[in-house]
Each structure stands twice: as structure tokens, then as C-alpha cells.
Structure 1
Amino acid sequence: MFDTMTSTKVVGAGCGALLVFLLGGWAGETLYSVGGGHGEDEQQAYVIDTGAAPAEEAAEAVPFADLLAAADPAAGQKVFAKCSACHKVDGGDATGPHLNGVVDRQVASIAGYAYSDAMLTHADKVWNGEELNAFLASPKGYVPGTKMTFAGLPKDTDRANLVAYLATLP
């Protein structure tokens, strides 16, 4: 019942359908493409004025010391909620070391806490405002290989408020 002529027709129909599909895609792409895409210099034909001001350049960066001087420890306590999953402020260690007295403390200096080798290489530094700012912005960027998996705090004001809060802890 299924002879060679029938199988030839089935294969031919499949090839024909594929050819129509490919040609339709090529025709649609040709009709609706946005640019030449062949290395030609393309320029915008016209600009629609929306009345909005052009994007201003980024404001000049404020030194972290100035942000820290104006920081709000109460706001920093709210930011600390992100840290409290791994760090305690009651003198006990958790996943991370406790943060009591961390400001102006030697890096990797909590006795009994198992710091990563990467953090131990920074043990000659002190957690001052600038060091904490750099670390909190991107822990893995500042200390590659650290065990701290937190991505960091992107906002300067959040980091300043957090450091101000940590400075109030005994």
C-alpha cells in the first residue's frame, strides 16, 4: 500500500514545504529589515523631538568621606538587613564573622573564624571607611576568591549609611 511513488510524493511535499518556508522567511526579512546590514554607513533618517532634555552627563562623584560625614546611621541599620542573613552584631559569628567594632578593625582578625585564603591576603589592611566602601561595592571584585557571596551595594549612599551604622556598634 505504501509504494515508492507514494514515498516519493511524501518526500517531495516535505521538500516543497521547506522551500516555501525558507523563501517566505527570506522575503519577509527583505521587506521588513531595518538596515542594509552590509557594512554601509547608516544614518537615522529623522529625529522626533519629544521635548525632553538630552541626557545630562553623570553628576560629579562625591568623595566617600563627604558621604560618610553626612550619612544616617538609622538608614544604615535598614541597609544592614541585607547583611543580617550572614552577619551578627551580638558578638557571635554566623556564616560570616560578627561585625561588632568592624570599623577601624584589622581585616581578617576575628579569632576562631575561618577566613578564606583570599581574605587572609588582605589581613595587613584596616577596615576604615574607604576600605569598607570598596569592599561593599563589590566584595568579589575587591577580594577575588572571598567566600562572601553577596553581590554588593551599588548605591554610594547605602554604603555610607551602612558604614555609619557599623561605626556605632561597640
Structure 2
Amino acid sequence: MDTMTSTKILGAFCGAFLIFLLGKWAAEVIYSTGGGHGGEEQAYVIETGDDGAEEEATEGPSLEELIASADLGKGEKVFGKCRACHKVEDGANGTGPHLYGVVGRATGAVDGFGYSGAMAAVTPEWNVAALDAFLENPKGYAPGTKMSFAGLKKAEDRANLIAWLDSLDN
């Protein structure tokens, strides 16, 4: 390849880059919202009725009410998120301990499974409230846990799952 061809290729890249930068600049000018740059003030304020004070969150049904009205079929579907690491057969550990009889079981009580130290320190037993808190945010409830699951944000999903797990050994 001769120098003229190399120069043309380099010029084409520089020209394309210049067009990109000019397009970016034009878009910023056209779609600028002020944003406080350069001493600009906000053009108008939309009143939302919020004076900055946080409103008290409306509470839904309690955990006991959710468990009482839990759908076991939906709980089994939610368990699909857990299936990669946990098994529900008694004594069959996976990456995580088996969950057969987990409701009411002592924390860290599955033989043959190496728990992280964080799990034994959070609660003496896996009651409904402890499972709910753990399933909502595992790393927040038991800092240092080896469980990498992000958690179940919906209270109904957690209640359905806990009720389904509780039904396995009944």
C-alpha cells in the first residue's frame, strides 16, 4: 500500500470523526434542557405536590396475611429461580443446602454442607420472618454469605415460596 492510499484512509477516519463530533455538538444544542450548566436557570417548575417530605409508604398486607393466602403453585414457580443451586429432596445438597424442611429448621443444620460463618450468626432458626427477610435481600440480611442471589423484591413471591417450601414436609 502506498502513502497516498494510507493518507486517504487516515483522512476518511478523521473526516468521519469530525462529522461525529459536529453531530454530537448539534444534538446537545438542539436538545439541551439547561441542566444548570453555565449559570442557566430552570425555565419552569412542575408542581408535584411533594414538598420534599417523604410520605409514609402505604403498607400492604402483613406477612402473616400473605402466607395465609399464599398460592402454592406460584410458590413452586418462584422456586425455579432457586433450582439452579438448591434441591428440595431431603439430604440432596447442591451448590446450596437442600431446602426440604427449611421452615423451622435450625440455621446451619444441614449435615454435609459447609455454611459460611455469616449464616450461623443471623438467626437461630429459619422461621417465616427470617426466611422472608433473607429472601428479600440475602447479602443485606447475612453480610458475608456465599449466596450470590439478588433476592425476591415482591412480598407475594416470597410468601408463596415460603408457603410452598413449608408444604413439602407436611
Query: TM-score scaled to structure 2, two decimals?
Result: 0.71
Pairs aligned (count):
146
Aligned to 1:54: none
Deviations 1:18-67 (A, max 9, x none): xx98xx689745565321523454142789xxxxxxxxx96433221211
Question: Is the counterpart of residue 65 in structure 1 residue 58 in structure 2?
Answer: no
Deviation at 1:133, TM superposition (A): 0.6
Structure 2 Cα separation of the partners of residues 27 and 93 of structure 1? 58
Query: TM-score scaled to structure 1, two decimals?
Result: 0.71
Aligned to 1:141: 140
Deviation at 1:76, TM superposition (A): 0.4
Structure 1 Cα separation of the partners of residues 140 and 155 of structure 2? 16
Structure 2 Cα separation of the partners of residues 43 and 99 of structure 1? 57
- Distance of aligned partners of 1:89 and 1:30 in 2 relative to their CA distance in 1, 3 Å threshold: closer
Question: Superposition RMSD on alpha carbons, in Å?
Answer: 3.3
Counterpart AA for 1:119: M
Q: Unaligned stretches of 5+ in structure 2?
A: 1-14, 48-55
Q: How does 1:1-170 map to 2 (within 5 A)?
A: 28=26, 29=28, 33-35=32-34, 37-44=37-44, 59-91=58-90, 92-122=92-122, 124-170=123-169
Deviation at 1:120, TM superposition (A): 2.4
Deviation at 1:107, TM superposition (A): 1.0
Counterpart AA for 1:136: L
Structure 1 Cα separation of the partners of residues 141 and 155 of structure 2? 16
Deviations 1:95-123 (A, max 9, x none): 1101111001111111221001111223x
- Distance of aligned partners of 1:25 and 1:71 in 2 relative to their CA distance in 1, 3 Å threshold: closer
Identity value in percent = 49
Q: 3-state SS of the aligned residue for 2:38?
A: coil
In terms of mean alpha carbon deviation, does 34-43 or 77-86 score higher?
34-43
Q: Unaligned stretches of 5+ in structure 1?
A: 1-16, 48-56
Q: 3-state SS of the aligned residue for 2:37?
A: coil
Counterpart AA for 1:95: T
- Distance of aligned partners of 1:152 and 1:30 in 2 relative to their CA distance in 1, 3 Å threshold: closer
Counterpart AA for 1:118: A
Bigger Cα Rg:
1
Q: 3-state SS of the aligned residue for 1:101?
A: coil
Deviation at 1:129, TM superposition (A): 1.0
Deviations 1:69-101 (A, max 9, x none): 111112101111111111111111111101111
